[in-house]
């Protein structure tokens, strides 16, 4: 049973190289369940009392349908909120992209001894007797390859960061929803929440719930679990694939821009015979 509920984590990891553990910021204290709360206004403590209607099965089904409806509404709110956060993320990435362009222009406009180390090519030794034609050929071929390698490294890094970002947001939301579901039944059967409940991940609570007979024997819980997991897995697939598609569109457009930039920049280096400036700077440094 725990294996089924852990499907969310397993599929998410296919999208990233690694990601940090769960980080909870929020926890929905309001949870529709098989309990109602009474407040002791003298002590401030919350007491949970059992509420069993005459037609318990029908009432439980109606209550569950309402919970699933709220899940759909919360999903819409989450997705809308995430779009705002994603737009902020890409806005910051646009600034980083411009900084990357500027940094690489500076790198090639000036003598840079690290080029040999970064690309495993001791250019300033092999070019000792080169003429302008040799330099032009090298910049248009190897130089282009090196610039493209730098771009590929940058996109790979930032794609990983983006996937970490979307997976982290998704796991935070699903952690909240599954904990809400567990809370309903935990209160119904145990009459009290675990200490530090708000700071526990749903996987930790789930492992404890699975040791309880009520969790494994209740048909209502089993049916709810199946419905909830089907809903969450569908949303997960839609969410992660949509956002992966958004990244691919962004990267595709940037690839077009960068390829044009590389061609234009190489022509500029050739026209300026920038290798002469490199050699002069290298001589002055020695």
Question: At 285, phi and psi to the nearest 5?
Answer: -80, -25
Question: Could you count the other beta carbons within 10 Å of the beta carbon of residue 133?
Answer: 8
- Three-state secondary-structure class, residue 39: strand
Token couple for 235: 């949303």
pTM of the model: 0.76
242 band by pLDDT with thresholds 50, 70 and 90: very high
Integer Cα distance of 31 and 47 in angstroms: 14
Positive or negative: CA dihedral 27, 30, 33, 38: positive
Do 162 and 247 form a contact (C-beta atoms < 8 A)?
Answer: yes
Do 80 and 87 form a contact (C-beta atoms < 8 A)?
Answer: no
In this predicted structure, what is the pLDDT of residue 286?
64
Do 116 and 126 form a contact (C-beta atoms < 8 A)?
Answer: no
132 band by pLDDT with thresholds 50, 70 and 90: very high
In this predicted structure, what is the pLDDT of residue 19?
36
Higher pLDDT, 282 or 62: 62
Integer Cα distance of 27 and 175 in angstroms: 9
Of 157, 162, 175, nearest in space to 22 by CA: 175
Do 152 and 144 form a contact (C-beta atoms < 8 A)?
Answer: no
Q: How far is CA 40 from CA 30, 187, 196, in A?
A: 17, 18, 21
Intra-chain end-to-end CA distance of the chain, in Å: 69
Residue 196: pLDDT over 90: no
Residue spans per domain, the chain: 54-285
Residue 20: pLDDT over 70: no
For 139-157, the pLDDT digits (tens) are 999 999 999 999 999 999 9
Integer Cα distance of 244 and 232 in angstroms: 18
Integer Cα distance of 87 and 76 in angstroms: 17
Integer Cα distance of 99 and 282 in angstroms: 25
Integer Cα distance of 274 and 136 in angstroms: 10
Do 8 and 236 form a contact (C-beta atoms < 8 A)?
Answer: yes
How much is the CA Rg of the chain, to the nearest whole Å?
29
Integer Cα distance of 27 and 201 in angstroms: 11
Q: How far is CA 89 from CA 1, 69, 102, in A?
A: 36, 30, 20
In this predicted structure, what is the pLDDT of residue 265?
97
Reported as type and span, the H/E element at residue 225 is helix 219-272
For 88-128, the pLDDT digits (tens) are 999 999 999 999 999 999 999 987 777 767 777 778 788 88
Question: Could you count the other beta carbons within 10 Å of the beta carbon of residue 63?
Answer: 16
In this predicted structure, what is the pLDDT of residue 282?
78
Residue keyed to tokens 């949303």: 235
In this predicted structure, what is the pLDDT of residue 58?
72
For 34-72, the pLDDT digits (tens) are 332 333 323 333 333 333 434 456 767 888 999 999 999
Question: At 117, phi and psi to the nearest 5?
Answer: -70, -45
């Amino acid at each position: 049973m725990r294996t089924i509920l852990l499907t969310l984590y397993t599929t998410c990891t296919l999208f990233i190289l690694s990601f940090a553990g769960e980080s909870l910021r929020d926890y929905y204290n309001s949870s529709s369940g098989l309990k109602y709360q009474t407040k002791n206004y003298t002590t401030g403590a919350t007491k949970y009392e059992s509420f069993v209607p005459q037609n318990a099965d029908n009432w439980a089904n109606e209550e569950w349908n309402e919970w699933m409806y709220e899940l759909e509404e919360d999903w819409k709110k989450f997705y809308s909120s995430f779009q705002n956060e994603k737009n902020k993320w890409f806005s910051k990435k646009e600034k980083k992209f411009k900084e990357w362009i500027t940094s690489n222009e500076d790198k090639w406009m000036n003598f840079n001894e690290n080029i040999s180390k970064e690309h495993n090519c001791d250019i300033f030794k092999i070019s000792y007797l080169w003429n302008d034609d040799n330099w032009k050929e090298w910049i248009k071929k190897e130089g282009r390859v090196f610039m493209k390698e730098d771009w590929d490294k940058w996109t790979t890094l930032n794609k990983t960061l983006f996937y970490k970002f979307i997976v982290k947001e998704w796991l935070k939301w699903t952690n909240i929803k599954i904990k809400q579901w567990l809370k309903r039944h935990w209160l119904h059967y145990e009459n009290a929440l675990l200490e530090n409940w708000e700071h526990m991940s749903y996987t930790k609570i789930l492992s404890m719930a699975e040791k309880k007979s009520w969790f494994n024997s209740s048909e209502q819980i089993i049916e709810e679990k199946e419905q909830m997991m089907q809903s969450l897995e569908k949303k997960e697939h839609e969410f992660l694939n949509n956002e992966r598609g958004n990244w691919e569109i962004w990267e595709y457009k940037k690839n077009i821009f960068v390829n044009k930039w590389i061609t234009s920049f190489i022509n500029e280096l050739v026209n300026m015979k920038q290798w002469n400036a490199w050699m002069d700077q290298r001589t002055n440094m020695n």
